[in-house]
Amino acid sequence: MAPEGRGVVMSSVNWKSLFVGLVAGALVFAAVPVVAGVGDPVVQGKINRVNKRTVIQGNSLTTLRLINRNSAGTALVLEVESGNAPFKVNSKKKVVDLNADLLDGRSSSFFMPAEGQPGQTMVGAFGAAGDGTFLVHAATFNPPLETGIPQSKVHYVLPSAGATAECPGVFQATAGHLCIYATWERNSSFNGIGRINNDLLNSGASRYGFTILWTGSSSSANVRGNWAYTVPSTGSDVITEPSGGVVTELGLLPSP
């Protein structure tokens, strides 16, 4: 019992203010990044900041695997200050399915493909002059084709000839056809076209190129023009049967 003459003082609690204060404190705490100390475990779903190197080491086939089931997400994001590499490796072994956007700061369009690409039109120019015997010009495909071009799809177009479906005009060719446009011929006559890697005349073009041969009728014989070839969607077989003669270092040797 309280002493006589003294009352009991009851302090009232403002529960509403207390609840608001607790909620506000929790929100502030949640907004502050977790500062993990050295040796502390990683807290999932939070920002962990430690100014010490962290090493994950193991002896299994895969030491660390990151899986993101979000169809639009990425499994790993590496961020560094400008001028720094995002990661380092200690192996030169090829990584299967690793796709890179740039090589030495250049995209793939800067580099020449290993082979001609479907739909690509290759073009070139030629010119030859002789002393009344033979005129020869060799042209190369750069990059090489997947396969050679059969003779049936090689066309030599004279200056007086009009456009065709296969050869619609200079520096143009229908897919799979090689069009050689002679824009000028003087004291010379066309003999044939051969593959650049053997001595077969009128055997089509090889995947590396072709050779054009003319016979000159005087010392002022000369010819010039241009050619075009459009890579088809599929390769072509090369016809190997010779026809009309043989190409040698000395020029065209007629068939017996």
pLDDT for 179 equals 96
Residue 111 within any structural domain of the chain: no
Residue 79 within any structural domain of the chain: no
pLDDT for 123 equals 92
Strands (E), the chain: 121-129, 134-140, 154-157, 178-186, 188-195, 209-216, 222-230, 245-248, 251-254
Lowest mean pLDDT among 20-29, 53-62, 206-215: 20-29
Q: In angstroms, how far apart are the furthest CA atoms of the chain?
A: 147
Residue 231 within any structural domain of the chain: yes
Contacts of 156 (CB under 8 A, 6+ apart): 180, 182, 190, 193, 212
pLDDT for 223 equals 94
pLDDT tens digits, one per residue of 130-154: 877 889 999 998 888 888 899 999 9
Residue 24 within any structural domain of the chain: no
pLDDT band, very low/low/confident/very high, at 26 (cuts 50, 70, 90): very low
pLDDT tens digits, one per residue of 188-204: 999 999 887 666 778 88
Residue 94 within any structural domain of the chain: no
pLDDT band, very low/low/confident/very high, at 11 (cuts 50, 70, 90): very low
Q: Which two tokens stand for residue 82?
A: 């400008």
Residue 102 within any structural domain of the chain: no
Residue 174 within any structural domain of the chain: yes
pLDDT band, very low/low/confident/very high, at 49 (cuts 50, 70, 90): confident
Residue 37 within any structural domain of the chain: no
The percentage of the chain sitting over the pLDDT mark of 70, rounded to a whole number, equals 70
Measuring CA to CA, how many Å separate 189 from each of 68, 101, 156, 216? Answer: 70, 51, 12, 7
Count up the domains in the chain and report the number.
Answer: 1
Domain that residue 246 falls in: 121-254
